[in-house]
Chain A
């Protein structure tokens, strides 16, 4: 149980175009999903916290208009990188918390396999 998928796993796009990345919780409901970015050989940096049915909360320094996050259902959150530039090339990882599995697992996040974005 507690599987999170991401699509696509890899994407190459041209500078100036937009790219959408999907994050799905496959076998559980997630009111909260998190989006991270990881540059090569660096740590994961939280970009935003996505709550179902409400606006995402962005971390300091993350441009809201550039990284659009939508969490329309309890199993799907999307991250759209708008007008992508080469410096946006990175590994994007989402995670989700299990709404129903309270108690011991309340604070556990389940991670997706990541999406590698390359902007040319």
Chain B
């Protein structure tokens, strides 16, 4: 069984602060994929990143960075110099390498509120 835990339900920061969203996962599969999605108030899911289990290299994309550590089964997401537009719910998700199935298991989400 797969499980994704996002322990932080809500985080509130002031603009320009850095913020890290935690994600811990469980899976018995050796090959799997991890994702982060952003869900703004409009509801549409915005894809942020996909990482496969064999690639532990950290990634940076503008103000976003991701830290993948298999040893601790974590895939944390950091926003540097946060902005009001970053306010949204962020979901971490896991997909095992099951061929055509590839079902996504989502965490419960972290609601980020960035204020001026």
Residues of A near any B CB (own CB < 8 A): 31-32, 34, 41-46, 49, 51, 91, 93, 95, 97, 106-114, 116
**A42 near B44: Cβ-Cβ < 8 Å:** no
Q: Is the interface of B mostly helix, strand, loop or mixed?
A: loop
| Contact yes or no, B103 A34, CB < 8 A | yes
> Within 8 Å CB of A31, what residues of B?
100
- Given A43-B91, A43-B109, A108:B104 Cβ within 8 A: no
Across the interface, do A44 and B100 meet the contact criterion of CB distance under 8 Å? Answer: no
Q: Name which of A97, A111, A116 has the most chain B CB atoms within 10 A of its CB.
A: A111
- Inter-subunit contact B108/A109 (CB<8 Å): no
Q: For B45, give its contact among A32, A41, A93, A97 (CB under 8 Å).
A: A93
Output the nearest chain B residue to A116 by Cβ-Cβ distance.
Answer: B43
Chain B residues with Cβ below 8 Å from A113 are: 42-44
Knowing that A34-B103, A91-B43, A109-B102 are A-B contacts, what are 18 other residue pairs whose CB atoms are under 8 Å apart, sorted by A's residue number? A31-B100, A32-B100, A32-B102, A41-B111, A43-B106, A43-B107, A43-B109, A44-B45, A45-B106, A46-B105, A49-B101, A93-B43, A93-B45, A106-B102, A108-B50, A109-B104, A111-B37, A116-B43
Q: How many residues of B contact A (CB 8 A)?
A: 22
Nearest 7 CB-CB pairings of A with B: A111-B45, A113-B44, A114-B43, A43-B108, A44-B106, A43-B106, A107-B102
CA distance in complex: A114, B89 (Å): 15
